[in-house]
Amino acid sequence: MITIRCLVSMLVLATLSACSPSDRLQQVLADGEIAVVSRNSPTTYYLDKEGAAGFEHDLAQLLAEDLGVDLRMQTAYSLDGIFRRLQREEVDLAAAGLSLTDDRSQRFSHSIGYASMIPRVIYRTGNRRPDGLDDLGDLRLVVLAGSSHEQALEVMAEEDWPELRWEVVEGADTMELLELVDNGSAELAVIDSNEFRMQQSLYPMLEVAFDLGPEQEMVWYLPPGPEYRSLQQRVNQFFARLQGDGSLEQLREQHFGHTTVLSRIGSHTFARNIRGKLPAYRELIRQVADEYQLDWHLLAAISYQESHWEPEATSPTGVRGMMMLTNPTAQEMGVEDRLDPVQSLRGGARYFKDMRRRLPRDIYEPDRTWMALAAYNIGLAHLEDARVLTERMGGDPHLWSDVMTHLPLLQKREHYRTTRYGYARGGEAMHFVQNIRHYYSILQWQDMPAIQPERPLHPDDFLPLPLREKRFLAL
């Protein structure tokens, strides 16, 4: 006969079994939280004035929402630190732009690939460009400590290039390597293609010398052990769904779709103007942005696209001032002197907010801002024509990534003759928005160090490198 005490014991055991730590997915669901470690960089995870941001953060947030739990992001300040946390099971996932290697796959579980990258050797234009490893000579080559690039170089040195030499740099952000090459402290650095493409505009003098190896998959890593298999399967299903319905590509476009719009000369000019012109107008732009509840980086990006921060700029068509307002627009916005930078900035800010306010309510951020910028350039009527074309041709008129590909059709007679408002320079509007998005991102990245949390002291930081735990290769 089963006693009350036995029955209670059985119920307790059943409850513990249902939420056993041996099944980490069930534990995550029971706890209502998933812990994810990443690294602090523009391509992965960072803090802006709105809070947590970055491609890997947003992807992890989507997973948390899919699971119905909260996301707890952690920052690792070295690549070794990411994998130490996985080994110690301090986190459930590492989402940090990490490549798939044989060594890592033997140590840790991992997801299916969700992106790809190519390891590339970067140099500064004007210096000697090596064509391959045989051409390095005594050039100083730097890589991140604990990276897959370091591992690849070790294999190459052992097998085919015994004279190959390089230096490792502690940290988790490839911007540190780019800084070294840009300021002449090193001649070469190994960077993954996706990160270099994202950050090249900050370093317009840097270019690709040659590819270090073939294309590699980017994956998320999980701690080792069978208890993580169900979570691994759920992550794989999550990625498969995002790839299948286009959500992954949409998120990638949102974060990186603007990174290839500028030429090297354009990037160099922008970098020079950030140092030379922007300081004289930064506080003024901040003041006006605060008045109109705008991000000052966005207002600065618009004004740079319009005039390169030149208050007396004038075009052949008659638009003038820092925000290049037409006479009718200036009058509508209450601007009496278009060459007065304060009036011009206020007029442009007011006009942009008016465009954003008048868009359909079911267009949400960040697409709402990008479409408002297109309307700022081309007018709401022509933007609506582009949205009609987008829907007519099977796209989503609420997504900037779809609408921007159809804007240039407004210049083709076979398409614009079917629209309500006819011909418009849609290609120009598309480039207008993409340029601003790019400038906006660069200006935000410039401010990143000021708003990131300080690196906490960790016991490992006090140990000499040879005495630290065996590195778990990352990136």
| Cα–Cα distance measured from residue 269 to residue 51, given in angstroms and rounded to the nearest whole number | 30
Task: Please give the helix or strand (H or E) that residue 161 lies within, else none.
Answer: none
One-letter amino acid at 97 equals: G
Report how many helices (DSSP H) and strands (DSSP E) the chain contains, helices first: 20, 13
Active site residue 227: no
Q: What is the DSSP string of 99-117?
A: EP-HHHHHHSEE----EEE
| Cα–Cα distance measured from residue 338 to residue 324, given in angstroms and rounded to the nearest whole number | 8
Instruction: Retrieve residue 123's tokens.
Output: 């140099």
Beta strands 33-39 and 216-222, pairing class: unpaired
Q: Say if CB 172 and CB 38 are below 8 A apart.
A: no
Q: Say if CB 357 and CB 405 are below 8 A apart.
A: no
Q: What is the DSSP string of 130-146?
A: --SGGG-TT--EEEETT
User: What backbone torsions phi and psi does residue 325 show, to the nearest 5 degrees?
Assistant: -85, 145
| Cα–Cα distance measured from residue 35 to residue 59, given in angstroms and rounded to the nearest whole number | 13
| Cα–Cα distance measured from residue 86 to residue 98, given in angstroms and rounded to the nearest whole number | 13
Instruction: Retrieve residue 118's tokens.
Output: 């190519």
34: DSSP letter? E
| Cα–Cα distance measured from residue 400 to residue 383, given in angstroms and rounded to the nearest whole number | 11
| Cα–Cα distance measured from residue 151 to residue 141, given in angstroms and rounded to the nearest whole number | 14
Q: Say if CB 113 and CB 62 are below 8 A apart.
A: no
Angle CA(454)–CA(54)–CA(167) in degrees, nearest 5? 60
One of 150, 195, 306, 384 is an active-site residue; which one? 306
| Cα–Cα distance measured from residue 285 to residue 297, given in angstroms and rounded to the nearest whole number | 9
Residues 6+ apart with CB under 8 A from 154: none
Residues 6+ apart with CB under 8 A from 135: none
Instruction: Retrieve residue 266's tokens.
Output: 């354009």
The residues carrying an active-site annotation are: 306
